[in-house]
Amino acid sequence: MYSGDEGDWHIFCGWQYVQDNLSRWNPGMSKLRLSLDWTADFQSTNSRTRNYPGFNNPEYDRTAQQFLTTLHPRDLRGAVITEEHLEPWWNNAEFWAKGGDVPKNADALLLLWKLQWMIADEAPVVPMFAGTVRFARRSDVVGIWNGDPHESFTYPGASQPIESTYPGGTMSHWTFQRIRRTDPEVDEINLGVTNRLRHINPLGVGNYWDALVWSRMYESMLGLNPFLLMKGVAEDAVNLADSFHSEFFGSGTVRYALHFTVKPGVRWHDGQDFTAEDVAFTYLSMLGARGKQLAERHSSTAELASALVNEQEIPAWVDMARWLEHIEMPDAKHISLYFTHSSRYLHEWFGDMPIIPMHVWRHLGPDFTQPSYRGTQGLYAISDTERGAGDEEFAGWNGLVGTGPFRWTPSSDPLNSGGTLVRFSHYHNRLEPLEG
């Protein structure tokens, strides 16, 4: 981290620049994911949900935009900004005479250095580490991902195993697929949290505890699978997508495209089939009223316009969806997203967005951050047996229908007294049970 030219800085940094170390919180140094888009958080055009301090610097905006659209950057995994790398610019009089402006052909590492430099010069405090989150569990609860010594993997090219920290612990999505009690007769596990839930909404601006609940029920198109990582596969893995590829355009309004093939055989918790329409509906809904305009730009999505009832931008995701130009959906299993800018982060942004069912949410407008249905507010309280009664295998039609490994069951007061998640027997990505 460049600390600026003026003032005394006392820097605490828990990150380790060891080749074989997996530093989850080190910006850009993770061997699993190039999550450097945090630099864009401070662009002034972003909502306060992302640019929460309200940072405003036109030069920073331009440099961050250049960084995000650098297509073929230096591989930043395990890299350190060194004097050797900066030498072409460090002792370049012309470079400094222009105020240290980075050149148009600068690679991602130099741009990252410049962005950190500007933050360090202007910000009074630079957070450089994340606090530790601690969980307690009973000794007879097993199957905790990253909680057992043998659960580690060797990153390709590394000299020793790395214990995965993405994502680990008692509350991990992967833990919930395998967690069990040592007594086989016990089929229920109670989970306690220290904070009150707010709304249990995948599109709402909630808190950590809300996400722990809804992330067990909703999924995204792409995602890192630690069990693949243990086998040495350290790339973005498909989830609700069966496959995907990208396409670049050298000129014109459209500069980049993502093409997804929807995974076959996926069911929503109420038994409905998961299709490309659900994906298109989700992405367009993030943009609020503008999503309907984008739907009408292509004949394959024009019919979705009547279902796009959300009129409010989704603060948690709209900044990542702003470059979407239009969507094409040739059939129920394929969807193509077209963007006005090209960036290596687009597959990450759109791959991470939670996908929602069109057949449910088309009735929950006009504000998906506060969904309502026939006067009832809150996804956890919304249900309609006339649209689907449910049975032992599938849930009835309700506001919390997802595709994830667990489905919601009704609760009278879940925000205060909690609720119950039931294992979804038709889950598409079921892991093999642990031995023993």
Taking only the tens place, the pLDDT of each residue in 130-156 is 555 566 777 787 777 654 444 444 444
- The span from the CA of 216 to the CA of 406, in Å, is 6
pLDDT, mean of residues 18-33: 33
pLDDT band (50, 70, 90) for residue 329: very high
How many C-beta neighbours within 10 Å does residue 397 have? 25
Contacts of 7 (CB under 8 A, 6+ apart): none
Per residue in 163-208, pLDDT tens?
444 455 667 777 777 777 888 888 777 777 777 788 899 998 767 7
**The pLDDT of residue 265:** 95
User: Residue range 110-135: average pLDDT?
Assistant: 68
pLDDT of residue 96: 54
Q: How many residues does the chain have?
A: 436
Mean pLDDT in residue range 62-82? 62
Torsion, CA 127, CA 128, CA 129, CA 131, rounded to 10: -20
Among candidate residues 412, 391, 69, 379, the one with its CA nearest the CA of residue 249: 69
Q: What is the mean pLDDT of the chain?
A: 76
Asked if omega into 366 is within 30° of 0 (cis), the reply is yes
Looking at the predicted structure, is the pLDDT value of residue 2 above 50? no
- Report yes or no on whether pTM surpasses 0.85: no
The DSSP letter of residue 392 is: S
Q: How confident is the model at residue 72 (pLDDT cuts 50, 70, 90)?
A: very low
Strand partners, 351: none
